[in-house]
């Protein structure tokens, strides 16, 4: 058992020394950014402002939603009970069901 632990410790130690000795190679990368025109630059700024305003609006709507739900909780307003949903609301008549034994002519 001890030999196994020694062997495991030796492997761990050798892996650490090997990792330290390897030099990190950095490839030569020449990066030249593309310069924006004035119109492209202004468009990027307007787009960034639009995204920021959209996220701000989303945050404000979330805050309003949280305030409304907390108010409803304080007032002890229960959620609506789920009524059975009908595909035929009041005033709309149901289609007549085909009688047993009568073939549907549209189906084929």
Which tokens go with 67?
């305030």
Mean pLDDT on 40-58:
97
Task: Give residue 80's Cα distance to chain centre.
Answer: 29
- Please, what is the average pLDDT of the chain? 77
Token couple for 92: 């709309």
What pLDDT, on the 0 to 100 scale, is given for residue 30?
Answer: 86
Q: How far is CA 12 from CA 1, 8, 21, 22, in A?
A: 17, 6, 15, 16
Range of weakest confidence among 26-35, 41-50, 59-68, 88-97 = 88-97
Long-range contacts at 97-101 (CB < 8 A, ≥ 24 apart): none
Q: Is the pLDDT of residue 18 over 60?
A: no
State pLDDT tens for residues 30-44.
888 889 999 999 999
Q: Is the pLDDT of residue 75 over 70?
A: yes
Q: What pTM does this model have?
A: 0.43
């Amino acid at each position: 058992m001890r030999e196994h632990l020694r062997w495991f410790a030796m492997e761990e130690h050798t892996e650490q020394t090997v990792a330290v000795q390897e030099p990190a190679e950095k490839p030569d990368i020449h990066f030249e950014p593309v310069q924006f025109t004035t119109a492209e630059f202004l468009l990027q700024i307007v787009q960034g402002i639009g995204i920021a305003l959209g996220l701000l609006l989303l945050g404000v709507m979330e805050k309003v939603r949280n305030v409304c739900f907390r108010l409803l909780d304080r007032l002890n307003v229960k959620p609506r009970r789920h009524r059975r949903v009908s595909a035929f609301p009041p005033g709309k008549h149901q289609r007549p069901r085909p009688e047993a034994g009568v073939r549907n002519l549209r189906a084929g």
